[in-house]
Amino acid sequence: MNIPKHSFICWIVMHRRILTKDRLAIMGICQEKECLLCGSKPESINHLFFECEFSIECLKGVLEWLKIGINNTSIDGLWRRVTRRAKGKISRSLIKAIIVALIYHIWQARNGALWNKAVTRLAKILKMIKEESRSRTRGSTQK
C-alpha cells in the first residue's frame, strides 16, 4: 500500500536526515532558519513535522478522518500509538501508509513554500491524502 516517494521521504525523516533549515544552516548553506509554514520558530525536523501549527492541523485532520484520538506530537510516539490502535494487518498497513503520506505532504508543502512562495492549503493536503489512500486501497483489493 505504500508509495515509494512517500516511503523515501518518511525514511529520511525517521532517520533524521532530511535537510531542514537547521541542518542547512549547520552546513553553511542557509542563514535563515525560520519555518516556512508557520514563520514562528526555527525549522527543524521536530518542529516541521509535529510542532509546527500547520503540521499539527494537518495531523488533526488526518486523525479526525481516521477517527483516532491521539494528542502525541512526536513522530516516533505517533507511529507506535497509531499502529497499536489499528485492528488487523490491513488496517495497520493502511494507517501507516496514511501517516507516511502525511509526512510526505508536509514536506511537499514546505518545499512549495520555499520554491513557489505559497503554502498549500490544509484542505488540499487532506484531500490528496484521502484520494491517494483510497486509490491505493482499491488497487490492493483488486490484486
- Map grid coordinates 525560520 to a residue: 34
Query: So what's the pLDDT on residue 143?
Result: 46
Residues of the chain with pLDDT under 50: 141-143
How much is the pLDDT for 89?
Answer: 66
**Which amino acid, residue 31?**
Q
Q: Phi and psi dihedrals of 42, rounded to 5?
A: -65, 140
Does this model's pTM top 0.75? My answer is yes
pLDDT at position 83, please?
A: 67
Query: How much is the pLDDT for 90?
Result: 66
Contact assessment for residue 89 and residue 95, using Cβ atoms and an 8 Å cutoff: no
DSSP string, 21-63: HHHHHHTTS----B-TTTSSSB--HHIIIIISHHHHHHHHHHH
Which residue reads 483516532 in cell numbers? Answer: 68
For 25, other C-beta atoms within 10 Å of its C-beta total 15
Q: Which three cell numbers stand for residue 12?
A: 529520511
Q: Give the span between the Cα atoms of 123 and 84, in whole angstroms.
A: 27
Looking at residue 120, the DSSP 8-state letter turns out to be P
Q: Please, are residues 75 and 14 in contact by the beta-carbon 8 Å criterion?
A: yes
Residue 110's contacts (CB-CB under 8 Å, 6 or more residues apart) are 36, 37, 43, 48
